[in-house]
């Protein structure tokens, strides 16, 4: 049985506390100090989790604060050319996206790796693809993210970390298209970024994928459950995404055709990221074939891409 990442740390601490309590009971020959320790430990853990949830909830529900400076006039044309999905947004969504892009570029470093020069058009393309996830939610702009590292093509990291350790989402052994780290870094291949932006209907967009991971990781764990603005929706989220994740795993095993990329069957975190790509790039198909999944993502992102013209 796999323990969901969200519960791994609390279970570890409870196990340690129980172990110490048993040791004390044996040493003292009495259950009283052990029971007191156990009660105090579990109480402290519950308080810690509650405070963490409250702090994260406040952070997530804090409205975004845009900059006062005007948006450079030439940005819209560059974004429209680099990222054609932009042209399908409603007027107010375009305005919101430009504001988010401005904020993103003002407080994130976008760095070229291996001698790659990152142009203004590249910066705008990356920022626009990342921020389209946020524009109707009105939430802060990836507050944990500091740096986006861009390689020219697929890349091979110097340190081969194990998948899903330390919040890292790894995409394949060896060469990679992108990575998302819990502590402030996203890595992208520019070739994949560019091809993902230009093909808006294949359900594959590496930037949306990595930034869906960023949303998922805002509570410190990559488990396919981002911070939901309405915690009452958690149960429905778990049921619907869990059901479709299981179906994708079965379809992958039987090599059946699927709406979602089969990479989503890797784990729940990858499922959420892959479902996000399909939500924005195959919305009509998803709404028709997987309406409950479409509704969950629509509620979360406050987007209705199936209504785009």
| Residue ranges binding Zn ion (CB under 5 A) | 169, 270, 273
What's the min distance (Å) between Cβ of 179 and Zn ion? 8
- Of the two residues 122 and 273, which places its CB atom closer to Zn ion in the complex? 273
> Could you tell me where the DSSP H helices lie in the chain?
5-28, 32-61, 75-82, 91-107, 120-131, 190-198, 206-217, 234-253, 268-281, 283-289, 291-301
Q: What is the distance between the alpha carbons of residues 91 and 149, in angstroms, rounded to a whole number? A: 31
Q: Is 155 helix (H, G, I), strand (E, B) or coil?
A: strand
Nearer to Zn ion, 204 or 287 (CB): 204
Q: How near is the Cβ of 21 to Zn ion at its closest, in Å?
A: 40
Q: Which is nearer to Zn ion, 86 or 226 (CB)?
A: 226
Q: Give the separation between CA 188 and CA 191, rounded to whole angstroms.
A: 9
Residue showing tokens 């989402």: 169
Least separation in angstroms between residue 74's CB and Zn ion is 33
Residue with Cβ nearer Zn ion (98 or 275):
275
CA distances from 92 to 72, 95, 109, 137 (A): 17, 5, 27, 13
The least CB distance from residue 11 to Zn ion, in Å, is 25
Nearest approach in angstroms of CB 250 to Zn ion is: 20
Closer residue to Zn ion in complex, CB, 96/168: 168
Rounded to whole angstroms, the Cα distance separating 28 from 48 reads: 29
């Amino acid at each position: 049985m796999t323990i969901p990442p969200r519960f791994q740390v609390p279970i570890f601490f409870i196990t340690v506390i129980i172990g110490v309590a048993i040791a004390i009971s044996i040493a003292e020959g009495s259950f009283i100090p052990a029971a007191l320790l156990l009660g105090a430990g579990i109480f402290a853990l519950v308080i810690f989790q509650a405070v963490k949830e409250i702090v994260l909830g406040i952070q997530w529900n804090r409205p975004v604060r845009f900059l006062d400076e005007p948006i450079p006039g030439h940005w819209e044309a560059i974004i429209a050319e680099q990222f054609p999905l932009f042209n399908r947004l409603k007027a107010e969504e375009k305005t919101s996206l430009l504001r988010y892009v401005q904020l993103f570029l003002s407080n994130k470093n976008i760095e070229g790796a291996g001698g790659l020069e990152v142009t203004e058009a590249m910066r705008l393309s990356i920022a626009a693809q990342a921020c389209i996830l946020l524009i109707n939610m009105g939430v802060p702009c990836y507050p944990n993210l500091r740096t986006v590292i861009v390689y020219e093509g697929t890349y091979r990291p110097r340190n081969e970390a194990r998948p899903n350790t330390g919040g890292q989402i790894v995409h394949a052994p060896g060469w990679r298209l992108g990575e998302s780290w819990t502590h402030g870094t996203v890595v992208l291949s520019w070739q994949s970024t560019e091809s993902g932006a230009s093909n808006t209907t294949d359900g594959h967009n590496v930037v949306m994928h990595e930034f869906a991971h960023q949303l998922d990781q805002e509570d410190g764990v990559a488990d396919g459950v981002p911070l939901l603005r309405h915690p009452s929706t958690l149960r429905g989220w778990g049921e619907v995404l869990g059901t479709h994740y299981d179906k994708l795993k079965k379809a992958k095993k039987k090599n059946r055709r699927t709406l979602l990329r089969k990479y989503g069957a890797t784990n729940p975190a990858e499922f959420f990221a892959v479902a996000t790509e399909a939500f924005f790039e195959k919305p009509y198909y998803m709404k028709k074939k997987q309406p409950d999944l479409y509704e969950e993502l629509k509620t979360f992102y406050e987007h209705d891409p199936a209504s785009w013209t």
